[in-house]
């Protein structure tokens, strides 16, 4: 059991090629499940879909249990955003036969696992110069896309449940984007009090996320690395000293590991 615990920890946290390939495999799985969740929101629940949902729920639950098992601070692990998201996703998958499509929109929260995976971000910072230069823009874009699809799925469940199908989901996505951009053509509206509050929420939060993406795209390129002396965490990609305090920096690049 101790050997299994050590092997599992090394796979999730190690720096070996085997560990990196394992984590990239998890990324592929995460990406595939996100695409499946987005597509399946508008599908009617069938025995085959229920079986697939149950299988995915068990795999995600096993990954969640493994991360909790190897965690040094299990309380902090339970409070992490992507852990809470995974719990909601597992609930929506395993309880699907009971609640049918009522919890379907929660599955899109699986994307938070991809966004906030510390080790994935660490690997990308070390191995991808493009990611280091555009990290803020990439993460802001993913945040915005996740928000759009979560809200579109929620709108679909709230307003288009009786017209389940790809066309209804496209209508929900169209409403979400037009509301977020404040262009609102008025051909699709939510007339209930709850629907109006949801519309306000989409506009307020969506505009903020869009502005965050625009700022990340147009601001000068910087890499994220916290100076051990003064705490400044944004530096030029080729910086060897902190511009604020002059402290030597060891920013990770291809073939060089920082400490």
Is the pLDDT reported for residue 4 higher than 60? yes
User: CA 176, CA 203: separation in Å to the nearest integer?
Assistant: 9
Which string of DSSP letters, residue by residue, matches 34-67? HHHHHHHTTSPP-HHHHHHHHHHHHHHHHHHHHH
Higher pLDDT, 142 or 179: 179
The label of the residue with tokens 């990954």 reads: 63
∠ CA 213-218-223, rounded to 5°: 85
CA separation, residue 42 to residues 49, 102, 246 (Å)? 12, 11, 55
Three-state DSSP class for residue 248: strand
pTM for this structure? 0.64
Q: Does residue 104 contact residue 88 with C-beta atoms inside 8 Å? A: no
Tell me which of 166 and 31 has the higher pLDDT: 31
Report pLDDT digits (tens) over 133-149: 777 788 788 888 878 88
* CATH node for 130-221: 1.10.287.70
- pLDDT of 58 reads 92
Instruction: Write the pLDDT tens digit of every residue in 42-60.
Output: 677 788 888 888 898 899 8
**Alpha carbon distance 174, 138 (integer Å):** 23
- E-strand ranges in 162-257 read 223-224, 234-235
For range 160-168, the mean pLDDT: 65
| Pairwise CA distance, residues 202 & 188, whole Å | 15
Choose the most confident range, by mean pLDDT, from 18-32, 94-108, 113-127, 212-226: 18-32
- Spell out the alpha helix ranges (H) of 41-165: 47-70, 74-79, 81-94, 96-99, 111-115, 118-127, 129-133, 135-159
């Amino acid at each position: 059991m101790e050997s299994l615990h050590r092997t599992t920890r090394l796979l999730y946290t190690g720096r070996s090629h085997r560990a990196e390939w394992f984590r990239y495999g998890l990324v592929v799985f995460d990406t595939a499940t996100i695409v499946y969740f987005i597509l399946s929101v508008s599908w009617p629940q069938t025995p085959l879909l229920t079986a697939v949902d149950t299988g995915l729920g068990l795999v995600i639950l096993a990954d969640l249990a493994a991360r909790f098992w190897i965690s040094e601070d299990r309380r902090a692990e339970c409070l992490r955003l992507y852990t809470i998201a995974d719990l909601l996703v597992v609930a929506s998958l395993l309880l699907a036969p009971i609640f049918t499509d009522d919890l379907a929109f929660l599955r899109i929260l699986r994307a938070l696992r991809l966004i906030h995976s510390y080790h994935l971000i660490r690997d990308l910072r070390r191995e991808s110069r493009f990611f280091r230069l555009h990290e803020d823009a990439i993460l802001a874009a993913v945040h915005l896309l996740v928000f759009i699809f979560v809200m579109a799925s929620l709108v679909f469940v709230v307003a288009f449940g009786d017209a389940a199908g790809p066309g209804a989901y496209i209508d929900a996505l169209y409403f979400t984007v037009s509301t977020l951009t404040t262009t609102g053509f008025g051909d699709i509206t939510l007339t209930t009090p709850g629907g109006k509050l949801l519309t306000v929420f989409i506009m307020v939060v969506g505009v903020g996320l869009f502005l965050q993406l625009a700022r990340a795209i147009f601001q000068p390129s910087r890499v994220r690395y916290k100076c051990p002396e003064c705490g400044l965490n944004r530096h030029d990609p080729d910086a060897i000293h902190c511009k604020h305090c002059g402290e030597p920096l060891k920013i990770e690049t291809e073939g060089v590991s920082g400490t």
